[in-house]
Amino acid sequence: MVEDILADKEWQILQAVIEKYLKTAQPVSSLLLHREGDIELSPSMIRYYFWQLTRQGFLIQPHTSAGRLPTHKALELFISRFLKEFNERENFVETVLSQINKWLEEKNNEPEELLKNLAIKTKGLCFLYLSEDDFVYKYGFKYLLDYIFQFEEEKEKLGEALDDLDARIKNLNLTNVSGVSVYIGFNNPLIPHPDFSTIISSDENWGLVGLLGPNTILKQRNFCWLKAAHQVVQELTNS
């Protein structure tokens, strides 16, 4: 339980930092949290909790004058708690599901159209592997490459990871059971790098649908988009 790891106020501050980071991809300052009313504490008290959370390995400070960034440990904790509450978000998933079905009806249920719209909504590389066809559909390289090109010294190595992306996605299908899985940083088998994450929703009967991008793809709404896409693919493969 989160409560066993962090005090309530620590978790409240950590959650606020993570949510701000996922929106902006920038370090979060104590002044920002105070000014925007996320935390009803003084900036100095928020900085004290920042120090505590940094000491425990949940936050890092890129440089002395910067705000804080969540570590992989913090992101994993955040996602773990969110997934436990995931089923309570059925209303949003149903809304997303109706949007996806409308897109597909207009495009004759083409998988590419599903991934195109998912990529636009999530700002990541979306992929779909259908085991019966042994084929990987992908859309959204633009969003991924825009981010990769920020890493001048590593872009060649990161680009090489994309050369065998289909094989890596197929291997994910072999190693996952049905359900949602999240891979962050060096645990990410598609691009093992601290700034990239992968979310997949797999089904042992037909394959998997997933999202690859910077760590900021770990927004809660993206899990809902992925869950809705999973349901759509399941219906199409059963029809």
Per-residue pLDDT tens digits for 100-146: 767 666 656 677 888 988 999 899 999 999 998 899 999 999 998 88
Check whether residue 233 and residue 135 sit in a common domain.
Answer: yes
Q: Is pLDDT above 90 for 93?
A: no
CATH number at residue 6: 1.10.10.10
pLDDT at 176: 64
pLDDT at 1: 45
Check whether residue 133 and residue 196 sit in a common domain.
Answer: yes
Check whether residue 105 and residue 190 sit in a common domain.
Answer: yes
Check whether residue 71 and residue 125 sit in a common domain.
Answer: no
pLDDT digits (tens, 9 = 90+) for 166-207: 999 999 877 666 788 999 999 999 999 999 999 999 988 899
Which position has the higher pLDDT, 16 or 3? 16
Check whether residue 73 and residue 166 sit in a common domain.
Answer: no
In terms of phi and psi (left: phi > 0; alpha: psi -120 to 50; beta: otherwise), the region of 25 is left
Check whether residue 214 and residue 116 sit in a common domain.
Answer: yes
Question: Tokens 């997934």 correspond to what residue?
Answer: 83
Check whether residue 159 and residue 222 sit in a common domain.
Answer: yes
Q: Which of 83, 116, 144 is the last residue of a domain?
A: 83
Q: How many domains does the chain have?
A: 2
* In 25-130, alpha helices (H): 30-35, 43-55, 72-84, 90-106, 111-122
CATH number at residue 165: 3.30.450
Q: Which of 83, 101, 129 is the last residue of a domain?
A: 83
CB atoms within 10 A of CB 83: 15
Check whether residue 212 and residue 130 sit in a common domain.
Answer: yes
Check whether residue 98 and residue 45 sit in a common domain.
Answer: no
pLDDT at 162: 87
Which position has the higher pLDDT, 27 or 96? 27
Average pLDDT over residues 93-103: 69
Q: What is the mean pLDDT of the chain?
A: 86
Check whether residue 18 and residue 95 sit in a common domain.
Answer: no
- Cα–Cα distance list, 161 to 111, 164, 176, 190, 232 (Å): 24, 6, 20, 7, 29
Check whether residue 28 and residue 95 sit in a common domain.
Answer: no
Bridging pattern class, strands 59-60 and 69-70: antiparallel
pLDDT at 208: 93
CA angle 78, 81, 85 (to 5 degrees): 135
pLDDT at 7: 86
Which neighbouring-strand residues pair with 179? 202
Q: Which of 83, 117, 135 is the last residue of a domain?
A: 83
Residue ranges making up the domain that contains 54: 2-83
pLDDT digits (tens, 9 = 90+) for 31-43: 998 888 768 888 8
Q: Is pLDDT above 50 for 3?
A: no
Check whether residue 10 and residue 125 sit in a common domain.
Answer: no
